[in-house]
Each structure stands twice: as structure tokens, then as C-alpha cells.
Chain A
């Protein structure tokens, strides 16, 4: 279990993460979502001991994480900018990871390098944005670290590379289960991988739920405006759109089968709400208050 207690990260007078408490059972894939500046990278930096929290603690199986060799060995944090030197060659970066990472898989790394079509002789400075991200994916996956944190490890990747990355991540996770935290803005593209979703907003924890729970939390109701309004009743409205006399309303409510049947009888249709739609609704300034229930 990874436990965050009252975690606060500050940069001078700016509070990036504000008193976040979380329990993260291990062996799951987490999606960490949040708008720009919501504190995702700062939270991950504290989680990976890149930064000492201003207040609060990060504990792994009861042990304090900061500067703990046993915990650090088990953690791999791949930042979007990559913690490598531009003058190094790709093969040099992979060699250093092999020397230092206890569970590094050389063969798997070589296979991923081929998959992402990286040239091991190229210097990091000569890699494109997408190739740098691909190298980050190689470092993150081949390290086989029990806690693997990938912070926007898709930037600049084309659709094929991203698809390969997601497929490899899932395949390797199934063979070598571990805790993976993915921070991303491409929510819908990756949402199927998430077992749990964490949403940060303005440095605070907005939501931490099982993905299935989250998907079932909202529903989109479409139909004649009056019928939709009547169906919605007093339930929290996450968003609504109107076209002529037809209205589509996204509700933060899980209706019972009887409610669905009643709605269908009134000419309403129902659809699921995507994680991205929910995220947009939950983190929109006008919706934030009603989203925090």
C-alpha cells in the first residue's frame, strides 16, 4: 500500500499540492488526471522522492519513502522532459539504466527500441520530441519497477507510437503486474487502461475512484427538453446542451433500472459518460462546487 498523508508541496509561496491524502493499493494501473497546473507533476515528484514534501508524508508499506534506498530501488519516475543528458547516446542511457536498475530487462529494452524505431547510436539532442517520449517509455517499461510512474510519456508521439506504447504497457503489466501511475491529458485514449482514476484540481484531491464506478457515476439523458428536465429532477447537472426542442443533459447520478425504464417510456435515450467528459465537467470552474459531493 502506498499512503499519502496530508501531502503538501510548495514552491516558495505557491502551494502546488495542498494536503492530499490518498491510499493507493499496489498492483493497479492508476490514471492521474488534472488540468494544467493542477499539481500532478508535483504530487508525482513527491511520490518518487524527487522532492521532499513541505508537509505530510509518503509511505510505502509503512516505510517513509524519502531517501529510503529500498523504496527508491522500486520506483521509476519518467518525467516528460526525461532525466537524461542531451550529450548521451540512446545506448548509453540504456546502459546506465541496466547498471543501476535491479530488475532491468535488457532484451525487453532492445525489443522496445526496435518497436519504437529508436536508433541506439543517436544522441539524445538529436531525438525528436516523440522519440524522446518513446525512450521514456522504454526506460519506464524495461525497468520493471514495482512502482512505475509515467508523467505524460506520450508527448510528441504519433498515433502509431502511442498505440504501441499502450499495447506494450498493458501486455507487460499483465505478465509483470506492478503499480503503474499514468499522468495524461489524452484521457479518452488511455482511459481503458485505468483501473482507478485520481483527479487533482488546484492542488487538491477532487476524486479517487474505481474507473468502472466513475463510468457508472454519470449518465447522459437525451430527449424532449421538458421530459429531460422532469427526469433530471434535483440531481446534480454536470452539463447540458440544447438543439431546438431536444436537450442532452449529463447527470452526476446513477439511475436505477426502474428510472431508466420510466425515462425510456417518456421517449428519453440514455448513454454512458466518458471519463474525459466527466473530467471536463468536474474540473470546470462553474461546475466544481456541485461536483464535489
Chain B
């Protein structure tokens, strides 16, 4: 079985309940707001799923280092093989989560219109808008994942005080992506930088952190870590 295939099988029991909880919470809160006010003027899905996708992938990035690395090496895989497999896994997971955020937003708008609960300020999403929103969410999800992985790698490889220094660098991709590409509950980019420049800067920060992560992990000693 491929490395990313094994990772998906490992994470499947976590992803499914997480998705169920997310959808349930979103539907419940949205129903409460629409039931109380008669309509909702923003995208609850963007607030919940948009944040959940980023933070969940941040945690996955941490878990890949802290929990999965030694398991894969203990089962006869090299660190480089693990990095390649984790890279494919991370890319697919980031694309999927970003797509779910965007598609969920589109679906939410359709359902709200059908039940008459879509308020004036609600960010209605066109097909073209979906692509644009994906172009904002995807770089964020992958940036958060790389940030989580690099922060964890620093603490895994070095002493805590060096880990803290690495953590500062590791946080950069997430901060840059959030600052330059982040969208609010109305689907509007918070930063005023032109999208191509924001995207280029975000991807560059993520790529640099990815390279740093590769260097930190490619020869690291496999430690006995708790849990």
C-alpha cells in the first residue's frame, strides 16, 4: 500500500466523526439563527468549516511528526519516503478540505435561499466565485499544515528552547496566509493586497517552510516520544 494510502487509512476514523460533528454543529447553529431571526446575513459554514479546515490540518501536521513518523520508520520506511507520502497526503487533504469549504458554502447558500433564510448581507457564491474562494482557502489550509509540521519538527528534533525559536519561523506560513488571503464570514478578503501578490507571498512562505521541514526531518533521530 502507498504511504499516503496508509496515512488516509490511519486518519479515516478521525476524519469521518470530525466531519459529522462539524456538519451537525453548523446545521444546528444556522437553524437556531434562522429560526430566531428569520434569516442569516453571513455564511456560518465559512466561519466554522473555514476555521476547522485550517486548524484541523495544523493539528494533522503536528501529529504527522509526533505520532506517525516513528511508526513508519519502525515499520521499515525511510524518513524521505515518509516525507514524500506525507506530502502527497497533505496535498490531497488540503485540496479536499478547501473544496469542501467552498462547496459547502455554495450548498449552504442554495439551501438558505430554498428555505427563505438568506439575508441581505449573505455572500452568495457564483461558480466563478467558487474558484476564487478555493484559491484563497487552499493556500491557507496547506500553509497551516506545513506550519504545524515545522513547529512539531523543531520540538521533536531539538531541545525545547530551540523548538521555540523554530516555532516562530514555523508560524510564518500560517500567519502570512491568514493575513494576506484570509476571508471573513462575508467571503471578503481581509487584506487589501492584490490577489496574485498575496498568493505568491503565501506560497513562497509555505514552500520555504516546507523545505525547512524537509531538512529538519530527513536525518532526524527517531525518538521515544510519549503517546
Contacts and interface: CB of A to CB of B under 8 A. Distances in A.
Interface of A: 45, 49-52, 67-69, 72-79, 81, 83-87, 95-97, 99-102, 125, 143, 145
Contacts of B122: none
Nearest to B221: A51
B219 interface: yes
B75 interface: yes
A72 B77 contact: yes
Contacts of A96: 6, 10, 71, 75
Contact of B71 (A77, A79, A84): A84
B74 A81 contact: no
Contacts of A73: 76-77
A143 B75 CA distance: 9
A110 to B, nearest CB: 18
B224 A67 contact: no
B73 A50 contact: yes
A220 B76 CA distance: 45
B70 interface: yes
A85 B67 contact: yes
B161 to A, nearest CB: 14
B78 A72 contact: yes
Interface residues of B, number: 25
A85 B227 contact: yes
Contact of B78 (A69, A83, A95, A99): A69
18 contacts: A50-B222, A51-B221, A72-B78, A74-B76, A79-B224, A81-B224, A83-B224, A85-B67, A86-B226, A95-B9, A96-B10, A96-B71, A97-B75, A99-B5, A100-B75, A125-B227, A143-B76, A145-B76
Given A72-B76, A72-B78, A87-B227, A99 B219 contact: no
Given A52-B221, A69-B81, A79-B224, A85 B76 contact: no
B186 interface: no
A83 B222 contact: yes
B80 interface: yes
